[in-house]
Structure 1
Amino acid sequence: MKSLFIHFFLWLNLININAQSKKVLIFSDSGSSVSDAILIIDNSPKYISDSIGLVTINNIDFDKEITIRHLNFETKRFTKWNLRDTLFLNERKYTLNEVELKSKRKKSKTLQLFPTKNISNSLPKNFGKSSSISQNVEIAVFFPNQDSTKTKIIKKILVPTNDYKVIETLQSNKRSKRKNAKYSPFKINLYTVDSVIGIPKDKKFEEYFVIKCDVDENYAVLELNEDEEFEFTKDGFFVVIKNLTIEEYEELGYYFAPGIDQIGVSKNNKFLPYFRYLYQAEDAKWKKKEYLINRKNIYNIGIEFKEIK
Structure 2
Amino acid sequence: MNRFLFLSIFYMMVSCGSNANFGVVTCSEIYNGEESITIKPKRNISHYMPKNFGHSYSPSYDIKIGVHIPLTKNNDGILKELIIDVKKSIIYDMNKKKSIHNDNDKFAPFLINVYEFDLKNKQFINKFFVEDTLISLKKNEKKIRLNLEQYKIPFSENGLFITIEKLSKKKYEELGFVNGPSFGIVGVSKRNIISPYYLNNRYESQWQDYKFLIERNNTFDINFVISRKKLKAN
Instruction: Determine the structure 1 residue equivalent to 2:218.
Output: 297
The correspondence of residues 118-129 of structure 1 with structure 2, limited to 5 A, is: 118-120=44-46, 123-126=49-52, 129=55
* CA distance, structure 1, for counterparts of residue 142 and residue 54 of structure 2: 16
Larger RCO (CA under 8 A, 6+ residues apart): 2
The correspondence of residues 203-214 of structure 1 with structure 2, limited to 5 A, is: 203-214=127-138
Instruction: Determine the structure 1 residue equivalent to 2:42.
Output: 116
- Rg larger for: 1
Deviation at 1:117, TM superposition (A): 0.9
Alpha-carbon contact 1:249-1:255 (below 8 Å) kept: yes
* CA distance, structure 1, for counterparts of residue 124 and residue 43 of structure 2: 24
TM-score when scaled to structure 1? 0.59
Q: How many residues align?
A: 200
Find the partner of 1:230 among 149, 153, 172.
Answer: 153
* CA distance, structure 1, for counterparts of residue 54 and residue 189 of structure 2: 19
Find the partner of 1:146 among 30, 55, 72.
Answer: 72
Alpha-carbon contact 1:111-1:306 (below 8 Å) kept: yes
* CA distance, structure 1, for counterparts of residue 184 and residue 164 of structure 2: 13
Deviation at 1:142, TM superposition (A): 0.6
TM-score when scaled to structure 2? 0.76
Q: Give 5+ residue unaligned stretches, structure 2.
A: 1-30
Is 1:136 equivalent to 2:57 in the alignment? no
**SS at 2:174 equivalent:** helix
Alpha-carbon contact 1:120-1:265 (below 8 Å) kept: no
Per-residue displacement from partner, 1:87-119 (whole Å, max 9, x unpaired)? xxxxxxxxxxxxxxxx98xx2122211111113
* CA distance, structure 2, for counterparts of residue 177 and residue 229 of structure 1: 39
The structure richer in strand per residue is 2
Instruction: Determine the structure 2 residue equivalent to 1:23.
Output: none
Instruction: Determine the structure 2 residue equivalent to 1:159.
Output: 84
Find the partner of 1:285 among 203, 206, 212.
Answer: 206
Deviation at 1:224, TM superposition (A): 1.9
* CA distance, structure 2, for counterparts of residue 224 and residue 158 of structure 1: 11
Change beyond 3 A, Cα 1:221–1:248: farther
**SS at 1:157 equivalent:** strand
Deviation at 1:280, TM superposition (A): 5.2
Alpha-carbon contact 1:129-1:259 (below 8 Å) kept: no
The structure richer in helix per residue is 1
Identity of matched residues, %:
29
Alpha-carbon contact 1:189-1:208 (below 8 Å) kept: yes
* CA distance, structure 1, for counterparts of residue 47 and residue 142 of structure 2: 19
Instruction: Determine the structure 2 residue equivalent to 1:307.
Output: 228
